[in-house]
Amino acid sequence: MLSAKTTLPTAATALPGRSTPLPTDEVHFVTGRPLKGPHPEGFRTAIFGMGCFWGVERKFWTLPGVWVTSVGYSGGITPNPTYEETCTGRTGQTEVVQVVFNPAEISYDELLKTFWEGHDPTQGMRQGNDIGTTYRSAIYTLDEDQRTRAEASRKAYQTALSAAGKGTITTEITPAGPYYFAEGYHQGYLAKNPDGYCGIGGTGVVCPIGVGVSA
């Protein structure tokens, strides 16, 4: 069972999913801003997987310059999966956070810094005690600039990790595919449930970008 959860499925073995989106919240529980837009002109979007998306979303919605966040599934095969389906490891989807941000207030590099420092990107198909493909570390890029910056930041952070005696980064960096909004009860989860579970934690190693050092 553990092997099934930590091995990515193929198109032949993935769950079929469904053609219609899952019901979800329409606005962010904290900010009241629309999850699905429209968003202000000139704002940009980023997608990150860092483990359990409950705690990850809170890391990003608190950043100045972030307009709205949502949680969902991306990077896999099964369309419009449920949370229960992703937990089987048979969708290929990653738990991710979609971040809509104002680049005049916060840069993509600064979001990358939060990404690297906010979890342990060396753990493969897990994050702490959360084990499975859905918890893998991932950056899904939406344009060539994001890809270039993400790959440069991975190289810079690996140098810092190696200097600190840490392991090798396993983060996947790939072009973003479809993003499927998670069910409503997952959106803004730790604001709705202040004592809820948050299983993510960083390495304690500072990422040398986003603070005047370009990726």
Residues serving a catalytic function are 52
Distance CA 115, CA 56 (A): 9
Distance CA 63, CA 110 (A): 10
Count the Cβ atoms, other than its own, within 10 Å of residue 45.
17
Which among 2, 23, 37, 1 has a CA at the least distance from the CA of 82?
A: 23
What DSSP element (H or E) covers 141? strand 137-141
Place of tokens 């072009």: 175
Distance CA 107, CA 113 (A): 10
Which among 203, 134, 202, 133 has a CA at the least distance from the CA of 166?
A: 203
